[in-house]
Chain A
C-alpha cells in the first residue's frame, strides 16, 4: 500500500507590542518577576472591561497582508469559554467567524532539502488575533502557581490548509514564518522562549483515496479517512521535524497492521524522542463562542497605518538575481534584516570600486565573480569568526567600506586568503574600524612581489633541499610544485606564487 502524508499547521505568535492586548499593562515577554505586570483587567476582577490595543490590530493586519490574506471588511472579537486557572475571565477573547485575515498564501522553496518538490504554495486558512493565557508552574509542595504577566499578551493565530507533504516542509514553513515576523518587527518569534508556538495536525492516508477541497480533506468513494492527530509540545524546529516524522512513522506502522486510531492530541517527548497520548476526542469541545459584547465590531483596515516592506522571500530572490549570490548564501544573508542591509552596503561599495577600475567591458563578469567571492567570505569566514568569539553583528566595529576593501584586496590578489583571514580576524576583534590595507602593511600580510626578497627565500630553499633541486634539474618537472610549496611556507604564504615559480625556474635552469 502507498501512503500520503497530510499535514496542516497552527501557529501562535506573541506580538511584542508595548502594552497588553486589552489593558495598559506593559507587555514584557522577558519579565522574570512573577505577577509584576498585572492590573485588575489582567486578573479579571468583576466589572473590568477590555479595550483593544490598536497597534496589535495593525500588526495582525500586517501579518495577514504579508501572508497575502484577504483582510476582512468588518471584523469582531468573540469569547471562547472554558474553565482553567490560566484563563482569568473563564473565556479567552479570540476571533471566531470573522477573523482579520482569510484565504492567504505563502510561497516556500525547498531546493536544498530532500523533498519531493522544489517549491510549494501553502494556503493560509486564517489569521486572527486573541490574547495569551497566564502561565502555570507547579512547586515542590504540589501547589499550582499562576503568573499573570503573560495573561493578555496579544497573540496571533495562523492556520494553514492541510498542504504540507512532509515534516521538513512544515519546518521550513515555520522558519519562513519566523523570518517574516522578524522582518515585520512584530515578534522576536523565539520558539524556545515560547514567543512562537505550533501544533501540527497530521494524518496518513492511502494515496489516491482522497481529495482536498477548500482546505477540507474529503474521501473518494468508500474510503474512510484516517483521523487526524494533533501534535503539541513542539518547542523547537528540530522538535517539529522529529515529532512529525515520528508520528508519520507511527501512523504508517499502524495502518500496515490494519489498525486505526481515534482523533487525539499527542505530545512530543523530547527526551524519549517519541509522541505520547494526551487526550482522545470523540467530538470537539464546545467553547460556546459568541460575539464579545464589550468590544464593538471594527474595520481592520482603519487601524492599518503601516507598510509591509520587502519580505524575506523577495529579498532572497533579489539577492540571487541582483547580486548573483548562490541560493545558500542568499538564504543565510537574508536570515536577518541587519545582515542583509550590511551585505547590501558591502556590495554597493564593491560595485563603486568595480566601476572605478578600467575593465568596463567585463563589468558584469566581475560583478558576478565578486558576489561568489563575497558570499562565502561573509557566510563562511566572517560569521564563523564571529561565532568563535561570540561576537554579534551590532558589536562589529568595522564598516562595510572596509570589509569591501578587504574583498577587493583578495579579488585583485594583493593578499592571499590565508592572510586575508588573519586580517579579518583582527578587524572582527578590534574595537576600532580597522582599514585592512593598513593591517596588511603593518603585519606584512601583503603579497610579496619583491624579486630580491623572493630570490633570497628561494636560495634558502634550494640550499635546504639540494636533492629535490637536483632532481628537477634532471628533468623531473613535477618536483617543482614541492619546491614552490616550500618557498610559500617560508614566506608564510605571502609570496606571490607566480613570481616564485618564475624565479625558481630561472634559478634552476
Chain B
C-alpha cells in the first residue's frame, strides 16, 4: 500500500471496491506512525484501539454492502488543542497532561459521525503559542523534509503528520497563521476558513475572535471534502454564521473564470522576504498570468500593523481564555502547594510554557485599568481599519496572493531566542487572520535544499468556496 499516493477519493474507491479494508488501511497508518513518529514527534497521544475498532465497523458496513460516506474509514489526526471525549487532550501543555475531556468538539463530533477514523492527537506549540513548534512541552515537531528544521507552528504536528503520511488529513487551529504556516513549511495544503464558518466549540481557545479550526491535507480536493463535513452553523458557538454549506468538492471543479489577482507590493518588498522564496512565488504568478488571469499590483499599507494589532488583541483574549487553566477542576495540580495561591501559582508556573506565560503577561497588562484604552481599544480600531482596507482591495481584485512565509523552514533553535524574528514568520499569514478572511496555503515549489515553499491565497469574507476553487486551479498537479 503506497500511503504517499492516497487521497480521500482513492481511499474511498479502494474501500468500496474492496481493494483493501479499512482495518488494513488504519493498520498501515499506525505502522507508519510507529516508524516515523520517533523521528518527527508529530503525535502526543495515539488512539490505536479505538481507531482499529472504528475501522472494523466500517468494514462491517462494506461487507453488508451498505453505502459508506466519503470520509468513512479515513484515518485522521487532530491538533491536541481539539477536545476529544475520553481521549487525553493536552493542548501541548503539561498542565493538561492528565486532562481527559468529557465531551467532543463539534468538528470532532461531525467527523466521527461521518465515519472518519481518529488515529491520534497531534503535537503543537502549547495552547497554540508559537510559530515553530518549539514551544510544545512535548518536544519540538521536526520537519519531515529535513529533521533539523522546524515544522512550523503552532499546528506543526498536524502538518508534519500529513507530510509524512502518518494520517491522511489533520485538523489544525489557526489564530494568526497556525494552519497555513506549518502547512507551507511541510509542503502540504492548509486552509484557514472564514471566521465563524466552522464551530470553535471544543477548540481550546487562544483568541476567541481570531481562532478558526481548519483542515490540513495533501490536496485542495481533500480539503474540500473535509470542509463539507465540518463547516456550518453550531448552536453551541454563537459566533458561527448561519450561511448554508456549499458542496465544496464539486464547486471547486466548476469551470474557473478569468480572475483578477492582487499582488500586494508591501509583502513582496519586505526586507525579510528571502530571495529564493520570492522567486518561487513570482514564477508561480507568471504561470497564473499565462493561464489568462489578470495580475494587478495593489497596496495594503495598513497590513504592516497587523502583527502589532495581533500582539495586543490575541494576548488580551488569550490571558482571559487561559484563566480557567487553574488546576482546580482538572489539570495537573502542584502537590506541594500549601494554600490556594500556591495551587494557582505553582501549578501554572510548572505547567505552562514560557511563550504562554509571555502572552498571558502581555495580555494582562494590556487589559489593565488605565491601559485598556491605549492598547486594546486602539488595537480594535486599527483592526477595523485593516478589515476595511481588505474590503476596499477586494473591490478591484478577486483574490490576493502572497508568499505564505518570508522564508522556508529554519533550523530548530535558530530563532527560538529571538522572539521578534520568530514573530516575523507570521508576517504574511497574520493580516487575513486579523480580518477574519479565508486563506489557504498551497505548496508551489521547493528550494535548492529541497525545502517546500507555500503560496497563500486570500479571499473576501465568506468566499471560502472561491478560495478553495482558485487554489484547486492553481495547485501543482
Q: Which residues of A contact B (CB under 8 A)?
A: 39-40, 43-52, 79, 81, 83, 85, 88-91, 146, 286, 288-290, 293-296
Any chain A CB within 8 A of the CB of B32? no
Are the CB atoms of B340 and A47 closer together than 8 Å? no
Residues of A within 8 A of B89 (CB): 46
* Segment at the interface with A among B55-63, B204-212, B459-467: B204-212
Are the CB atoms of B239 and A46 closer together than 8 Å? no
Are the CB atoms of A290 and B344 closer together than 8 Å? no
Are the CB atoms of A49 and B376 closer together than 8 Å? no
Are the CB atoms of A43 and B103 closer together than 8 Å? no
Also in contact, A40 and B102, with CB within 8 A (given A49-B201, A49-B238): yes
Residues of B within 8 A of A146 (CB): 328-329
Total count of chain B residues near the partner, CB < 8 A = 45
Also in contact, A90 and B326, with CB within 8 A (given A46-B204, A79-B320, A288-B367): yes
**Secondary structure dominating the interface of A:** loop
Also in contact, A290 and B376, with CB within 8 A (given A47-B203, A48-B202): yes
Q: Which partner residue on chain B sits nearest A84 by CB separation?
A: B340
Are the CB atoms of B238 and A286 closer together than 8 Å? no
A-B contact count (CB 8 A): 104
Kindly supply a per-residue 1/0 record for chain B positions 185-214, scoring 1 wherever the CB is within 8 Å of any chain A CB and 0 otherwise: 000000000000000111111011100000
The distance from the CB of A360 to the nearest CB of chain B, in whole angstroms, is 64
Are the CB atoms of B103 and A49 closer together than 8 Å? no
Are the CB atoms of A90 and B238 closer together than 8 Å? no
Are the CB atoms of B326 and A83 closer together than 8 Å? yes
Query: Which one of A47, A51, A88 has the greatest number of beta carbons of chain B within 10 Å?
Result: A47
Measured CA separation A88–B83 after assembly (Å): 18
Q: Which one, B204, B239, B376, contacts A47 given CB within 8 A?
A: B204
Measured CA separation A8–B350 after assembly (Å): 45
Also in contact, A49 and B200, with CB within 8 A (given A83-B344, A288-B320, A294-B239): yes
The distance from the CB of B315 to the nearest CB of chain A, in whole angstroms, is 12
Are the CB atoms of B209 and A293 closer together than 8 Å? yes
Kindly supply a per-residue 1/0 record for chain B positions 110-143, scoring 1 wherever the CB is within 8 Å of any chain A CB and 0 otherwise: 0000000000000000000000000000000000
Measured CA separation A484–B397 after assembly (Å): 110
Are the CB atoms of B320 and A85 closer together than 8 Å? no
Interface residues of B in 349-382 (CB under 8 A from A): 364, 367-369, 372, 376
Q: Which partner residue on chain B sits nearest A286 by CB separation?
A: B369
The distance from the CB of B467 to the nearest CB of chain A, in whole angstroms, is 24
The distance from the CB of B13 to the nearest CB of chain A, in whole angstroms, is 35
Are the CB atoms of A290 and B316 closer together than 8 Å? yes
Measured CA separation A296–B200 after assembly (Å): 14
Residues of A within 8 A of B207 (CB): 293
Also in contact, A296 and B238, with CB within 8 A (given A45-B102, A47-B83, A288-B367): yes
Interface residues of B in 202-254 (CB under 8 A from A): 202-205, 207-209, 235-239
Measured CA separation A52–B236 after assembly (Å): 10
Residues of B within 8 A of A49 (CB): 200-201, 236-238
Are the CB atoms of B323 and A81 closer together than 8 Å? yes
Are the CB atoms of B208 and A83 closer together than 8 Å? no
Are the CB atoms of B238 and A51 closer together than 8 Å? yes
**Knowing that A91-B320, A289-B367 are A-B contacts, what are 10 other residue pairs whose CB atoms are under 8 Å apart, sorted by A's residue number?**
A45-B101, A46-B91, A47-B81, A48-B202, A51-B238, A90-B323, A288-B368, A289-B372, A290-B317, A294-B208
Measured CA separation A141–B325 after assembly (Å): 26
The distance from the CB of A21 to the nearest CB of chain B, in whole angstroms, is 13
Residues of A within 8 A of B202 (CB): 47-48
Are the CB atoms of A48 and B372 closer together than 8 Å? no
Residues of B within 8 A of A286 (CB): 368-369
Q: List 29 A-B contacts (CB under 8 A).
A: A39-B102, A44-B324, A45-B102, A45-B330, A46-B83, A46-B89, A46-B96, A46-B99, A46-B101, A46-B324, A46-B325, A47-B82, A47-B105, A47-B202, A48-B201, A48-B202, A51-B235, A51-B236, A81-B323, A83-B344, A286-B368, A288-B319, A288-B369, A289-B372, A290-B316, A293-B208, A293-B209, A294-B237, A294-B239
The distance from the CB of B451 to the nearest CB of chain A, in whole angstroms, is 34
Are the CB atoms of A43 and B329 closer together than 8 Å? yes
Measured CA separation A296–B102 after assembly (Å): 26
Measured CA separation A460–B401 after assembly (Å): 119
Also in contact, A45 and B83, with CB within 8 A (given A51-B235, A79-B320, A290-B316): yes
Are the CB atoms of A296 and B368 closer together than 8 Å? no
The distance from the CB of A215 to the nearest CB of chain B, in whole angstroms, is 21
Are the CB atoms of A290 and B320 closer together than 8 Å? yes
Residues of B within 8 A of A81 (CB): 320, 323, 367
Residues of B within 8 A of A290 (CB): 316-317, 320, 367, 372, 376
Residues of B within 8 A of A296 (CB): 238-239
Are the CB atoms of B238 and A295 closer together than 8 Å? yes
Residues of B within 8 A of A294 (CB): 208, 237-239
Q: Which one, A40, A89, A288, contacts B101 given CB within 8 A?
A: A40
The distance from the CB of A70 to the nearest CB of chain B, in whole angstroms, is 24
Query: Which one of B208, B238, B239 has the greatest number of beta carbons of chain A within 10 Å?
Result: B238
What 6 A-B pairs come out closest when comparing CB atoms?
Answer: A90-B323, A293-B208, A288-B367, A293-B209, A46-B204, A47-B202
Measured CA separation A89–B203 after assembly (Å): 15
Measured CA separation A427–B237 after assembly (Å): 57
Measured CA separation A49–B235 after assembly (Å): 10
Also in contact, A293 and B329, with CB within 8 A (given A47-B205, A51-B236, A83-B323): no
Residues of B within 8 A of A48 (CB): 103, 201-202
Measured CA separation A296–B239 after assembly (Å): 7
Interface residues of B in 78-106 (CB under 8 A from A): 81-83, 89, 91, 96, 99, 101-103, 105
